[in-house]
Amino acid sequence: MLPINDLARHNRPLDSDIRAAINRVLQRGYYILGPENQAFEAEFAAYLGATDSVAVGNGTDALELALKALDIGSGDEVITVANAGMYASTAIRAVGAKPSWVDIEPHRMLLDVGLLPAAVNERTRAIVVTHLYGRMADIEAVVAFAKPRGIAVIEDCAQAHGARRNCQLAGTLGDLAAFSFYPTKNLGALGDGGAVVSNNPALLARLRGLRQYGWTSKYHVGMTGGRNSRLDEIQAAILRCKLPHLDAWNSRRRAIIARYNTGLAGLGWQLPPEPDESDVGHLYVVRTPQRDAVRTTLAALEIASDVHYPVPDHQQAAFPVAISLPVTEAAAVELLTLPCFPELSDAEIDTVIAACWQAVKGEHS
């Protein structure tokens, strides 16, 4: 079956480099918060044009620690969207705060900045802005709204490594930014990993303590809310190996989106916006009321598909909230994700396109 993401194909060209990176760590015998971690933090921050980055255990930890660095907790509210897989909402709840969801734009499916004034109250401490599917939200407008009100802005960049707006990369415009290096991300490790990025030295210092028990020095806990969340040396070494290839991979992802958009035009589906530098094509997601039938046809033709994401945060069974987010809810029943990874060939893209047309025309029995 043609997969959504083929990590074996993705990593194979770097096999010798990855093995050399792992061997470097093994030979050194230093496995946690060592020279590979320090080098990756510096190299990733330099790539983004940020002051520094703090590597952590995974992307959800990155969001949670970013909130803790801002002293957000019980009684506070954090504005975010409900269409991004529950990750930000999970982190917000984990620190004892309350997620306050706003609806999305119908086409780009990103936070609708025009809804922020009605969502803010005296308990609002932060806005988590999710750059979803690889494309950046209007982060400048969010910052312009939040800053004079004393509201912090956290960028959720788990799907937007290398995306750029107005010459600035995702992760450098808010007060803090959270990244995931889960294997399927645009910059992915061979296991879990994450980072928090900031241009604020005081917040960076807090993050370094919070990721390691709240230490201010070894075995001296000087801040509350600390935990054990550290990127291991092997993953840091692998990420250092992959980082120089990120821009080329993103360029190929944009080309894939453009080819899909051309081939699927006329189907009557809502297709993603034409990609520019602000879109790194993490996922290719369309909207179609025929989703379930199309998925059935694709599966019969041995083409994988997925739904990112089927259940809005406010409708999750564990935390149901009786609010109305009409655009989010309408999108959730129509979303369809097609294969998209840098090694996907033009011929494979064309096969997927033909299968989608076949599904719509009902030619497959």
Same-domain check for residues 262 and 324: yes
Biggest distance spanned by C-alpha atoms of the chain: 68
For residue 309, with 0-12 CB atoms within 10 Å meaning exposed, 13-18 middle and 19 or more buried, which class applies?
Answer: buried
Torsion of CA 293, 297, 302, 308, to 10 degrees: -20
Which of 225, 244, 263 corresponds to the end of one domain?
Answer: 244
Which of 212, 244, 276 corresponds to the end of one domain?
Answer: 244
Same-domain check for residues 116 and 199: yes
Count of domains in the chain? Answer: 2
Tell me how far apart the alpha carbons of residues 364 and 350 are, in angstroms, rounded to a whole number: 17
Q: Write the CB contacts of 218 (distance below 8 Å, at least 6 apart in sequence).
A: none
**Which pTM value belongs to this model?**
0.97
Q: Report DSSP state, residue 215.
A: E
pLDDT tens, the chain, 365 aa long: 999 999 999 999 999 999 999 999 999 999 999 999 999 999 999 999 999 999 999 999 999 999 999 999 999 999 999 999 999 999 999 999 999 999 999 999 999 999 999 999 999 999 999 999 999 999 999 999 999 999 999 999 999 999 999 999 999 999 999 999 999 999 999 999 999 999 999 999 999 999 999 999 999 999 999 999 999 999 999 999 999 999 999 999 999 999 999 999 999 999 999 999 999 999 999 999 999 999 999 999 999 999 999 999 999 999 999 999 999 999 999 999 999 999 999 999 999 999 999 999 885 44
What angle, 0 to 180 degrees and rounded to 10, lies between the N-to-C axes of helices 35-48 and 15-28? Answer: 130
Which of 226, 244, 262 corresponds to the end of one domain?
Answer: 244
Same-domain check for residues 260 and 322: yes
**Can you give the residue range of the structural domain that contains 316?**
246-361
**Is 28 in contact with 35 (CB distance < 8 Å)?**
yes
Angle at 347 between CA 346 and CA 348, to 5 degrees: 90
